[in-house]
Structure 1
Amino acid sequence: MTIPVLDLGPLRAGTPGALEALGAELRHAFTEVGFYFVRNHGIDQALLDATFEAAERFHAQPLDAKLALRINEHNIGYMPLRGATTRVNAVGEVALPNANEAVFFKRDLPPDHPDVRAGLRFRGVNQWPANLPGFRDQVLAACDAFEGLALSLLPVYARALGLAPGYFAPFFTDPMYTLRMSHYPQQEPTAPENEFGIAPHLDTSFMTILAQNRIPGLSLRLTTGEWVDAPAPEGALLINGGMMLRRWTDNRFLATPHRVINRSGRERYAIPFFFDANYTAVMAPITADGSPARMPAITYPEFMTGYQRANFHHANEEKVELQGA
C-alpha cells in the first residue's frame, strides 16, 4: 500500500490548477486509503519538535500533579493510564483498557466567554499545569499552526466532493478542536494480545493531523483487512478522516481503522490534533447526487456526548475513548 502524498506548495503559491489537482488526489486518498501525507504544509519542524518535548515534560511530572488536572465533562484535562476503553469506535472485539495516558486541550476560552458562562459542554476552560514554564504558550502555538493548516485544506475537501471551494467555510467559523498529548509506555512482550497502546479504532473527527513520530508503533488497516505499519517520511504530516467526515460525506469517504502498539523499547509520545466544525453547525450528509442521505443531520455536541459516554471511564460507570491516536 502507498499512502498518497499531497504537495501543498503549488496551492500555497497560488499556482493555477493546484486546487483542482489536489481535490482529485484527496478524493483518491479518501476512497482508497483513508490517510494521506502533506508536504510543504507551512508548519516549522522546530515547532513540532518543541511540542513533542512539551508532551514529554507534561507526562514526566509526578502523578499527583497530573491528577490535579483530571479530565472533565468537557474532555479537557488529564486522563490516567488505562483511563479509556475503545468501544463505540472499536474495530473487532473490545480490547483491554488502552495502555496510554493523555492530556487534552481545546480552544483556550476565557472564563467570561459566553459559552463558558452558559456551561456548554465541550466549551470549557483549559486546565494548565502549574509548574511547567512555557508549556501553555507552546500548546497554543501548536494549536494555532494546526488550525491554520486545517482551515487551508477545506477548499481541497470541497473540490474533492465536487463542491464550490468555499462550501465548508460557514461550517468552520470558530471550529472545534482538540490537541491530545499522549504517552505510550513501553509494552512488555509478555503483555496480553488484546492490550494495545490504543486498540484498533476509528477517529471521531472531520480531520486528524498527526505529526510524524520518530518512535514506531502506529499501524493502519487496509481495505483488504491487512495491518501495515505507517511510514514516517521526513517533513510530512499524516492526515486522516474520522467518523464525522465519513458521516458528513454519506459514507463516501473512508474512516480507516488504526492502532498503536509500543514495543519499541522506548517511551513513545504523540500529539494528534482533531479538527471539527463549529459547535452549532448542522452537518447534513452530502450525497453524491442529491438523493436522501443514509443518516440524519447532526451537530458536534450531539455526536460527541454520546461517544464520550460510551468510551471514557470518567464519563460513564460502564467504564467504556474520546479522541484517539
Structure 2
Amino acid sequence: MVRCPAGTPAGQNRPSRRAAMAADTASTPAIPVIDLGPYLAGKPGAPEATAAQLRHANETIGFLTIVNHGVPASLVEEAFAACARFHAQPLDAKLALRVDGEFRGYVPVRGSTTRHSRLNADNQPNENEAYFMKRVGEDAGATDRWPAGLPGFREVALRYYAAMDALAQRLLPLYAMALDLPADWFAPHCDRPLTGLRFTHYPPARYGANQFGLAPHADTSFITLLAQNRVPGLQLRTTDGAWIDAPVVPDSFVVNTGEVLHRWSNGRFINTPHRAYNLSPGPRYAIPYFFHPNPDTLMEPVPSCRVPGEAPRYAPMTVGDYMAWFRQQNYGLSAKAKADAA
C-alpha cells in the first residue's frame, strides 16, 4: 500500500478554492530545470553531471523539468491538438470507446475516483475525462480502440507515443547512474515496458468539498513525462507540506518519480504528491505519458539501495500485480465492467 500523509481539504466553491490555493501555495517554484542537450550530444562528462543533477532532484523533491530533450515542439502541439479533437466529439462517440479490460479507451467526466491515495479523505469523482492508449513491445498500437471519425488521430497519437517511448529509454541510463548503478542496469528490465499515454480534458468546473480535476495522489509509474501546458493547473506538494504551482517552462517536459521507482530505490527517490485543477474559463488539456518496467519485474531494492541488516521498506511485488491493484482501486475494472465494455 502506498504510504502517504494526509492532504489538504478542498474548498467549498470556486471563489473559496482560489483563495485556498493562494493561501496554500508557495510563491517560489522549487522544480529544478535540467538541460539534456549536452548529454544527448554525447559531450564528455555530461552523463555523470546530468545524473548528479537528476539524483539531487529526485532525492529532494521528486520532480524536475527537462529542456533540450529532442522531442520536436511541433509534435507536442500536434498531440495537444489531437487531444482537443478527441474530446470535442459528441459524448456518444466517446462512450462507444468506453475503457476495456486492457485499460484502453474512454473514461467520462467523474468516471474515476482516486482511492489508492490517502492524501485526501473522501475524494469525490475526478472532474476530468480521459482517453487511454497502451502499447507493449511489438504489439505497439495493435488495438481497435481508436475513434472512427477522426482522420489522422491514430497516426498523430502513435507518433507522439513513439517519441515518448524513445525519450524514456534515453533517460534510463541517467536514472541508473543517479542510483550508483551501471548505466545499462535498467535495460533488461525495460525492454518490454508497460507504458501508457493519456489524453485528458479538464473542463471548467466549480469545485466543491473534496472535488478536484485530479485528486491528490502520487503516480504509480517508474517515471511520468508531462508536456508543459499553457493553461496552469498542476500543483505538487513539497517535503515541508506546501503546495506549489508547477512553473511553465516553454518546450519542456515535467518529469516525476512514480511509486515503482520509489519502491525500487527503497524509498531513496521521492514520489511526490500532486493534484490538478482547471480554474480557467476554458478547457485545459494534458497528455501525460507513463513508463513502467516489464510487467514481470519484481520491485525489490536495487543493489545500491539495500541496507545491510535491514528489511526492505516495501514488500516485493511485480509491476504487473501492482498496476492491477491500482486500476481496480481507481477505475473499478471488475469482471462486470470488462463484460460491459466488450
**1:183 maps to 2:224:** no
Unaligned runs of 5+ in 1: 117-122, 319-325
Within the alignment, does 1:103 sit opposite 2:121 as a pair? no
Instruction: State the identity %.
Output: 46
CA distance in 1, matches of 2:178, 2:144: 35
Q: Give secondary structure in 1 for the equivalent of 2:166.
A: helix
Where do 5+ consecutive residues of structure 2 fail to align? 1-28, 338-342
Indicate yes or no: 2:317 matched with 1:298.
yes
Quote the offset at 1:281 in angstroms: 2.3
How far the C-alpha of 1:313 sits from its partner, in A, is 3.7
Report the Cα distance in structure 2 between the residues aligned to 1:184 and 1:173, rounded to whole angstroms: 33
Deviations 1:54-89 (A, max 9, x none): 000000111111111100121110001101110112
Maintained 8 Å contact 2:132/2:197: yes
After superposition, give the CA deviation of every residue in 1:127-185 in whole Å (9 maximum; x if it has no partner).
10001000000010001001101000001000110001010000110211100000000
Q: Conserved in 1, the CA contact under 8 Å of 2:133 and 2:197?
A: yes
Q: Note if contact 2:201-2:283 (Cα within 8 Å) is conserved in structure 1.
A: yes
Which of 60, 81, 99 in structure 1 is aligned with 2:109? Answer: 81
Q: 1:51 aligns with which of 64, 79, 100?
A: 79
- Compared with structure 1, are the counterparts of its residues 60 and 22 closer, same or farther at alpha carbon in structure 2 (3 Å cutoff)? same
Distance 2:278 2:156 in 1: 26
Matched, 1:174 2:202: no
Task: Look up the equivalent residue of 1:177 and give its one-letter code.
Answer: T
Alignment of 1:10-25 (within 5 A): 10-25=38-53
> Who is 1:3 aligned against?
31
Listed one character per residue, the Cα deviations across residues 159-213 of structure 1 (whole Å, up to 9, x for unaligned) are: 110001010000110211100000000012xx31311000111111001000000
8 Å contact from structure 1 (residues 186, 266) kept in 2 = yes
Between the aligned partners of 2:159 and 2:134, the Cα distance in structure 1 is: 12
Paired position in structure 2 for 1:310:
329
Alignment partner of 2:259 out of 243, 247, 251: 243
Quick check: 1:281–1:300 contact (8 Å CA) kept in 2?
yes
Give the letter aligned to residue 280 of structure 1: D
Q: Distance in 1 between matches of 2:336 and 2:124?
A: 16
Partner of 1:37 in structure 2? 65
Check conservation: 1:310, 1:316, Cα contact below 8 A: no
Q: Which amino acid aligns with 2:210?
A: N
- State TM-score, norm by structure 1: 0.89
Structure 1 equivalent of residue 172 of structure 2: 154
1:129 corresponds in structure 2 to 147
Which of 248, 267, 272 does residue 256 from structure 1 map onto? 272
Aligned positions, number = 306
TM alignment of 1:204-243, pairs within 5 A? 204-243=220-259
Q: Report whether the alignment pairs 1:61 with 2:89.
A: yes
State the SS of the aligned residue for 1:208. Answer: strand
Change (3 A) 1:98 1:157: same
Any conservation in 1 of the 2:306–2:312 contact (CA below 8 Å)? Answer: no
DSSP 3-state at the match of 1:209: strand
For residues 287-320 of structure 1, give each alpha carbon's deviation from its aligned partner in whole angstroms, at most 9, with x where no partner exists.
Answer: 52453422233222211111111111444899xx
What is the DSSP-based 3-state SS (H/G/I as helix, E as strand, rest coil) of the residue aligned with 2:48?
helix
CA distances 1:30-54 after superposition (whole Å, capped 9, x unpaired): 1111100111100001000010000
Q: In structure 1, give the amino acid aligned to 2:235.
A: S
Instruction: Indicate whether 1:288 and 2:316 are aligned.
Output: no
* Separation in structure 2 between the aligned mates of residue 264 and residue 280 of structure 1, nearest angstrom: 42
State how far apart, in whole Å, the 1-side matches of 2:78 and 2:334 are.
Answer: 31
Distance 1:108 1:317, change over 3 A: closer
Shift in Å, 1:255: 0.5
Q: What is the TM-score with the length of structure 2 in the denominator?
A: 0.85
Instruction: Report SS of the residue matched to 2:298.
Output: coil
1:138 aligns with one of 152, 156, 168: 156
Looking at structure 1, the residues matched to 144 and 215 of structure 2 have their Cα atoms a distance apart, in angstroms, of: 27
**Residues of 2 paired with 1:90 and 1:127: CA distance?**
32
Structure-2 residue corresponding to 1:323: none
Could you tell me which amino acid in structure 2 is paired with residue 43 of structure 1? V
Q: Distance in 2 between matches of 1:204 and 1:231?
A: 23
Once the two structures are TM-superposed, the CA of residue 92 in structure 1 deviates from its matched residue by 2.4
Q: Which residue of 1 aligns with 2:213?
A: 197
